[in-house]
């Protein structure tokens, strides 16, 4: 039985999709351990943000473990597990913006705006990918998901988050700007995966045909989930040094 399990979960040398799932699992596990252990080494006002970063990567590590197993056993994309992971971790990434701007007067209403937009983005994306993925009308759900995404971009770069960042001091402004680039550029990786994995990914056009949806998503997750936490950690350490040198 043990030998059969090893055969099932062995990764072939040319199975790049499974390899990225394996690397993603290990990277997320390492990141969550790092964030949890470093919580005590940052100023108290940053600890909740570091904790959330640890939770994001921990949740992702668990899901990546299951996604890797599902992909190896079935050869299919683990769409359901992927969106379960995202529905938990993406709103938490939005929480990071609230935690940072809270120091500058951010209200709970901002938090719900960010979470609400992220949930709409993910639910409509799932409908388009899992239910209508083989049909050309998947672009409609992709468009709705994209509108919700751009609303988050607007809040971060031009809306309430940006306004609070300008009045929150250099540390808050730097944190919001850094994370804003992840939302603008890093999150833009995911539509490429959506287009690659659905028939009507972009107005029925077969763009990025032959590109693996899972590889794109896995790269995007590693950049964004780990990167989010590392930016916050770096800023927390910078803020700590500034306090000590004052």
Q: What is the pLDDT of residues 140-155, one digit of tens each?
A: 888 899 999 999 999 9
pLDDT over 90 for what percent of the chain? 46
pLDDT digits (tens, 9 = 90+) for 223-241: 999 999 998 998 888 776 6
**What's the pLDDT score for residue 224?**
93
pLDDT over 80 at 71, yes or no: yes
pLDDT single digits (tens) 169-213: 777 888 888 889 989 988 888 887 777 766 655 545 555 555 678
Residues 6+ apart with CB under 8 A from 61: 25, 28, 29, 31, 32
How far apart are alpha carbons 74 and 57 in whole angstroms? 25
DSSP-derived letter for residue 27 is H
Q: Which residue has the tokens 């970063």?
A: 53
Task: Look at the block and give the residue holding tokens 């940053």.
Answer: 46
Write down the domain spans for the chain.
Answer: 2-245
Rounded Cα distance, 13 and 15, in Å = 6
Three-class SS of residue 205?
A: strand
Does residue 8 have a pLDDT over 50?
no
Q: Is pLDDT of 58 > 50?
A: yes
Q: How far apart are CA 114 and CA 90, in angstroms?
A: 10
Average pLDDT over residues 7-29: 80
**Among 117-121, 135-139, 217-221, which is the least confidently predicted range?**
135-139
Read off the pTM. 0.87
Mean pLDDT computed over 122-135: 83
What is the model's pLDDT at position 5?
A: 38
- Report the CATH architecture of 2-245: Up-down Bundle (1.20)
177 Cβ contact list (under 8 Å, min separation 6): 165
> Phi and psi for 211 in degrees, rounded to 5?
-80, 135
**Helices 160-167/170-181 angle, 10° precision:** 150
CA separation for the pair 24, 168 (Å, rounded): 35
Q: Are 21 and 64 in contact (CB under 8 A)?
A: yes
């Amino acid at each position: 039985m043990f030998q059969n399990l090893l055969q099932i979960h062995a990764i072939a040398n040319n199975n790049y999709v499974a390899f990225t799932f394996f690397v993603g699992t290990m990277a997320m596990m390492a990141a969550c351990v790092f964030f949890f252990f470093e919580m005590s080494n940052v100023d108290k006002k940053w600890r909740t943000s570091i904790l959330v970063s640890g939770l994001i990567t921990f949740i992702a590590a668990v899901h990546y473990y299951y996604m890797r197993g599902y992909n190896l056993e079935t050869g299919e994309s683990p769409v359901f597990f992927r969106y379960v992971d995202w529905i938990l971790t993406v709103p938490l990434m939005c929480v990071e913006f609230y935690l940072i701007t809270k120091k500058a007067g951010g209200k709970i209403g901002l938090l719900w705006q960010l979470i609400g937009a992220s949930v709409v983005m993910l639910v409509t994306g799932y409908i388009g990918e899992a239910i209508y993925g083989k049909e050309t009308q998947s672009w409609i759900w992709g468009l709705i998901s994209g509108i919700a995404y751009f609303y988050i971009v607007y809040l971060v770069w031009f809306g309430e988050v940006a306004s609070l960042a300008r009045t929150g001091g250099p540390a808050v402004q730097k944190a919001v700007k850094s994370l804003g680039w992840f939302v603008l550029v890093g999150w833009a990786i995911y539509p490429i995966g959506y287009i690659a994995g659905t028939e009507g990914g972009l107005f029925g056009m077969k763009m990025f045909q032959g590109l693996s949806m899972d590889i794109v998503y896995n790269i995007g997750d590693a950049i964004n989930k780990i990167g989010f936490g590392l930016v916050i950690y770096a800023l927390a350490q910078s803020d700590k040094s500034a306090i000590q040198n004052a």
